Amino acid sequence: MRVAAGADRVGESGPYARHRLAGAFAPDLFPVPPRFRVRVRKLSLARLLLRELVEYRGKLGVVSSRPCMYGVFSGPLGGFAPREQLCVGCLRCTVEYPDVVQIHPNPERERTGGSLLPPDDVDALLYEARTGRVPVRGAGYRGPFGGEGWDGLWTDMSEIVRPTRDGIHSRETIATDVDIGEFPSWLRFDAAGEPLGPIPRFLTIQVPFLFDLPPSSVGSPELFRVLADAARRIGTLALVPAQWATEPALRGPHVVPVLSRFRGAAPDDLGFAPRMLEIDGWDRARFSEVIQRFPTSLIAVRVSAGADILGIVRDGARILHLVADYRGRAGGRFMGDAARSAHGQLVEAGVREEVTLIGSGGLVRPEHLAKAIVCGIDAGALDVPLWVALQGRFGAECRDRETCRVELPRLDPGWAAQRLVNLAASWRDQLLEVLGAMGLREVRRLRGELGRALFQLELEREAFSGIRGYAPRA
Amino acid sequence: MHRARDDVEDLVVAKHTEALRRGFRVWPRLGFLPPALGDARWTPELILATWVQAESGCPPGGGLEHRVGRSGGGFDRLDFTFLPAQEQLAEREPVDTSIALGRRDERSLDIPIPWYGAGMSFGSVSERIMLARAKAARAWKTFTSTGEGGYPESLFEYRDHVIVQIATGMFGVREETILSSPIVELKYAQGAKPGLGGHLLGDKATVAVARMRESVPWVSLFSPFPFHSVYSVEDHRKHVDWVRAIHPQALVAVKVSTPADVDMVAVGSYHAGADVLQIDGGYGGTGAAPEIAKKNIAMPIELAIPRVHRTLVEEGIRDELTVLASGGIRTAWDVAKAIALGADGCVLGTTELVALGCTRCANCERGRGCPFGLTTTDPELSRLVDPDWGAERVSRLYSSFQREIAGILRRLGMRSVRELRGRTDVLMYVGEGSGDGR
């Protein structure tokens, strides 16, 4: 069918192949700081051992039995040289012998995410990049009740009233592919059945996320090749500045060259027609010019998440990349609020189904992505998690890609691409958990489904109104 | 030779058991807060205060915070507005802390304290822990739940105080255990991983656990979500009927999570014939769960209770259904606040484990399991907890909680905890500028 000819699936050999991401162990290049510092009073330990030698009459099997299951005190020198890297913070040693050993949080680890990320997020991202698996821990939730941004939002789940809204059971097949492109609201056909006017033009990525431009401080051909290779293996896209996209190795279908808003600032002569291009900023004349130059390519426009997107859509743009800073802020608003606003405006204008919204900034954990999609974006463009996965070190001030200083280690291409594939595999599996809980068979159904969002402010207003002292926050 | 090795093993266990018990006593008196202990929900103060209560049966003195955590919301921002001193009940005035489980037809059971123990399966915890909890439940004439892992024979002696749970994996569900239980709990979901079913890691599926669950040793076990036989709330009725067909006298409890439509779930459960509804908020949980599920799916219990309570009142069925709140209940004050928000009582899980020595290190799923012998099936580790010692700890915690709740009721001028239900007018919200809630 002609209409389908406009579709382009990324990362599949056939239209109905089941997409799989091949995770493989990719160890950290260098050790991360241990979570805990183990402080042993060596004199007290010596006294303890002597006392136990007497008490247990020299039974070494008893005396040498240590209070740690994880091997912290099982090195050649036992407790005299604890192996901090193995400490998981169970505290059993210090409960048993508080006068001999104390466990402290490692301040060095607290700094691993710089000012941008809490250490738990860094740990989780590294685990995901290393293993490709879903982080699992015991003992329930440990953090704040709610908060700003994504913390003030929970996703819904299905219960016995509607456990099978889509007929889904547990971990049945759930589609995570997303279409990016232009979708006219209706089709017209001539007498011969041939379409008149625009037809849908889109490409499909296998996961609802792509790779955003790296910070200016780390852009290099090696990094872009890694991003492009990982995007190919995942079935998604990597955004690459146009000046680098001219390199032959980067001319693949998984690369989205990003053109400057200003004519002549970067080469427009790419030497090939990419499937998708992005213009860094909105300029009506420039948009028309790029369309003319690349008539077969999809054209995305990169704008602030606080921008007037309705005007841009009215001027013809159909793929909008809403950009916030690395903390998810843009124009005084949080990404989630900006996405809700953009989505709502497009719904009101009756053009939501014609437009693709990509969001970036503040998407650090997979739940952020799920929540951003609930708020209205179709797909997220990842930034910070990628650099953490590659064990980048963040400078003190890291607000956005212009100001952020990231120092990446020397990248082995195979290792680096595998780390990103692992990250993607883990995030995809975690999205499946959220979607499965909601009874959704496909991530596309989640987009803008605000009925499946539970907002802290609204719930608190309902629960606590009438309780003395409660005043709804603005 | 074997004898000598056994002797050494016994001595090793005895050495560490003694050291741990000493530590639980000593730590709250160290004069400083262990720097790596606790988190925003379970602060170091709360953990140590729970240990004190499990040791002494009384709330801690010396200013150790035992009422709220530092999560910045929910129970941690709620407090009570007490009556002026002259209007409060005197210390000698008797106060009733009992609640009724099931209040329709002739089926009803009273428990003397407004809580019972949460479902924790054999496999996720050791049999010794189950036994300790069952002993405490019997001592207090309340209940504990098997969770979804079968009913170890050692619990039969306590069967009048053991709830048998039927969950989606049907592990260990047998007609004879249903028949021996005064309450049968149908678990649809759990707050720690709402909508995700259950997962027992292969390392914990020992020979004994697998035998109990009628599965294969050392193979991970998944409880699916949801029940494959339930496609709407109307289908819930057949589960209740199935239980009633086997054991007509049993109360039927339904454990659900806290989705947006938790109020409709409550109404549906009532019409399906449930006697007790347990709503399980997302911030609790004792076993392993994907991190993404803990914070992000379904609402916290503090926000779900009022929604359920109001809807049941509006439907005119509030007094026929017992509503119990769980998933984030840490202290006696949380219990009282949950009741004031609209629950009849609570279900305690993590709190009991903390009383038994849990430091909330979150390594339940790692290697041999809990290093304190709680959430483990490792034969050596599980010996660290003697059931009688454990039962005493849980009992003393209950004693302290009851004392606290009675004290709250007296200060509110109430003679029964049943008067407190839904009394949001005695609550106050402590704003962000006022420090932590208490």
Task: Give the integer Cα–Cα distance in Å for A26 and A418.
Answer: 7
CA distance A206 to A216: 27
B189, A157: Cβ pair inside 8 Å?
yes
pLDDT per position as a tens digit, B158-208:
999 999 999 988 888 889 999 999 999 999 888 878 877 777 878 888 888
Test B35 with A141 for CB contact under 8 angstroms. no
Pairing of strands A36-40, A101-105: antiparallel
Considering all CA atoms of chain A, what is the largest pairwise distance in Å, rounded to the nearest integer? Answer: 102
B37 and B45 in contact (C-beta within 8 Å)?
no
Q: Chain A closest CA to B335's CA: distance in Å?
A: 17
Please indicate whether, in this complex, the C-beta atoms of A140 and B294 are within 8 angstroms of each other: yes
pLDDT of residue A170: 53
| Per-residue pLDDT band at B436 (split at 50, 70, 90) | very low
Are A469 and B429 within 8 A, CB to CB? yes
Distance between CA A277 and CA A5 in Å, rounded? 19
What does the pLDDT average to over A150-170?
Answer: 70
Is residue A369 in a domain? yes
Please identify which residue in the block is written with the tokens 């106060």: B95
Cβ contact, residue pair A62, B8, below 8 Å: yes
One domain for residues A166 and A302: yes
**Can you say whether the dihedral through the CA atoms of B432, B433, B435, B438 is positive or negative?**
negative
* Residue ranges in A238-328 assigned as alpha helix (H): 242-245, 284-293, 309-314
Q: Rounded to a whole number, what is the distance in Å from the CA of A30 to chain B's nearest CA?
A: 23
For A160, the closest of B77, B233, B287 (CB atoms) is B233
- Segment B329-334 shows an average pLDDT of 98
Q: Does the beta-carbon distance from B429 to A464 stay under 8 Å? A: yes
Least confident stretch, A354-368, B27-41, B204-218:
B204-218
Confidence of residue B368 (pLDDT cuts 50, 70, 90): confident
**pLDDT > 60? residue A2:** no
Taking 70 as the threshold, does the pLDDT of residue A163 lie above it? no
Is A131 contained in some domain? no
Beta bridge pairs of residue B348? B117
CA distance B318 to chain A (A): 17
Q: Phi and psi for A304 in degrees, rounded to 5?
A: -65, 145
pLDDT over threshold 90, residue A169 = no
Same domain assignment for residues A72 and A193? no
DSSP string of A59-115? Answer: -HHHHT--S-SSSTT-STTGGGS--GGG-----HHHHH-TTTEEEEE-HHHHTTTTT
C-alpha–C-alpha distance, residues B351 and B357, integer Å: 10
pLDDT at residue B5, as a whole number = 65
pLDDT value of position B34: 92
Task: Evaluate if residue B364 carries a pLDDT over 90.
Answer: no
And the tokens for A433? 């958990």
pLDDT tens digits for range A449-470: 999 999 999 999 999 999 999 9
Q: How confident is the model at residue B222 (pLDDT cuts 50, 70, 90)?
A: confident
Q: Looking at the structure, do residues A89 and A166 belong to the same domain, yes or no? A: no
What's chain A's average pLDDT?
Answer: 90
Average pLDDT over residues A205-220: 94
Q: What CATH number labels B99-429?
A: 3.20.20.70
Least confident range from B77-91, B215-229, B410-424: namely B215-229
List, for residues A339-368, the tens digit of each pLDDT value: 999 999 999 999 999 999 999 999 999 999
CATH number of the domain within which A319 lies: 3.20.20.70
Q: Is the same domain home to A171 and A272? A: yes
Average pLDDT on B307-313 reads 98
Whether B195 sits inside 8 A of A438 (CB atoms) is yes
pLDDT-derived band at A10, boundaries 50, 70, 90: low
Q: Please identify, among A82, A105, A128, the residue that sits at the C-terminal boundary of a domain.
A: A105
What is the mean predicted confidence (pLDDT) over A368-396? 95
* Predicted local distance difference test score (pLDDT) of residue A154: 96
Confidence class for position A415, pLDDT limits 50, 70, 90 = very high
Name the phi and psi angles at A125, rounded to 5.
-65, -40
* Shared-domain flag, residues A22 and A40: no
Number of domains in chain A: 2
pLDDT on residue A470:
95
Residues of B in contact with A151 (CB under 8 A): 295
Examine the domain organization and report whether A184 and A300 are in the same domain.
Answer: yes
For residues A284 and A420, state if they share a domain: yes
SS3 B74: helix
The answer to whether residues A455 and A383 belong to one domain is yes
State the pLDDT at residue A8. 54
Residue A3 has pLDDT above 70, yes or no: no
Residue B1 in this model has a pLDDT that exceeds 70: no
List the domain range (segments joined by +) for residue A73.
36-105
Q: Residues A72-109: pLDDT tens digits?
A: 999 999 999 999 999 999 999 999 999 999 999 999 98
pLDDT digits (tens, 9 = 90+) for A19-41: 678 889 999 999 889 999 999 99
Mean pLDDT of all residues in A313-337: 96
Are A170 and B225 inside 8 Å of each other by CB?
yes
Are A163 and B227 in contact (CB < 8 Å)?
Answer: yes
Helix (H, G, I), strand (E, B) or coil at B354: helix
The residue of chain A nearest to residue B366, with distances taken between CA atoms, is: A137
Flag whether pLDDT at A7 surpasses 80: no
Q: Is A247 helix (H, G, I), strand (E, B) or coil?
A: coil
CB atoms within 10 A of CB A438: 26
**Is there a contact between A69 and B427 if contact means CB atoms under 8 Å apart?**
no
Which pLDDT value is given to residue A165?
45
Nearest C-alpha neighbor of A141 from the set B300, B61, B355, B119: B300
- Extents of the domains making up chain B: 1-31, 99-429
CA distance B92 to chain A (A): 30
Contacts of B281 in chain A (CB under 8 A): none
pLDDT above 50 (res B40)? yes
Judge contact between A33 and A108, C-beta under 8 A. yes
Cβ–Cβ gap B291/A124 under 8 Å: yes
Of A98, A163, A470, the CB nearest to B23: A98
Mean pLDDT, range A241-263, rounded to an integer:
90
What is the rounded distance in angstroms from the CA atom of residue B288 to the CA atom of residue B286? 7
Using the beta-carbon criterion (under 8 Å), do A70 and B35 form an inter-chain contact? Answer: no
On whether the CB atoms of residues A175 and A441 are closer than 8 A, the answer is: yes
Same domain for A168 and A214, yes or no, is: yes
A70 vs B contacts (CB less than 8 Å): 367, 371
* Cα–Cα distance, B250 to A328 (Å, whole number): 53
Distance CA B91, CA B310 (A): 33
ipTM over 0.85: yes
Q: What is the pLDDT of residue A20?
A: 76
Share of chain A above pLDDT 70, in %: 92
Contact A170 B260 (CB under 8 A): no
Share of residues in chain B with pLDDT > 70 (%): 97
CB < 8 Å to B379, chain A = none
Facing B72 at nearest CB: one of A62, A144, A469: A144
Q: Is residue A111 part of a domain?
A: no
Residue of B nearest to A68 (CA): B371
In this structure, the dihedral spanned by the alpha carbons of residues A130, A136, A138 and A142, taken in order and rounded to 10 degrees, is 80
Domain assignment of residue A134, yes or no = no
Give a yes or no: residue A470 inside a domain.
no
Instruction: Looking at the complex, report in whole angstroms how far the Cα of residue B22 sits from the nearest Cα belonging to chain A.
Output: 7
pTM given for the model: 0.94
**Residue A454 included in any domain:** yes
Is residue A117 one of the residues assigned to a domain?
no
Q: Per-residue pLDDT averaged across A121-144, rounded? A: 93
Between chains, do A142 and B39 touch, taking CB under 8 Å as contact? yes
Report the distance separating Cα B116 and Cα B394, nearest Å.
11
The mean pLDDT of chain B is 92
Pick the residue from chain B with its C-alpha nearest to A123.
B291
Q: Which two tokens stand for residue A327?
A: 């903390």
The answer to the question of residue A15 being in a domain is: yes
pLDDT band at A237 (very low <50, low <70, confident <90, very high): very high
Question: Is cis: bond before A67, omega within 30 of 0?
Answer: no
pLDDT at A5: 37
List chain B residues with CB under 8 Å of A135.
Answer: 290-292
Same domain, A188 and A216: yes
Considering only CB atoms, which chain A residues are within 8 Å of B22? Answer: 96
**A175-203 pLDDT per residue, tens:** 999 999 999 988 999 999 999 988 999 99
Strands A7-9 and B107-111: unpaired
Q: With 0-12 CB in 10 A as exposed, 13-18 as middle and 19+ as buried, what is A250? A: buried
Q: Is the pLDDT of residue A240 over 90?
A: yes
How far does the CA of residue B404 sit from the closest CA of chain A (Å)? 22
Residue pLDDT, tens place only, B384-427:
999 999 999 999 999 999 999 999 999 999 999 999 999 999 99
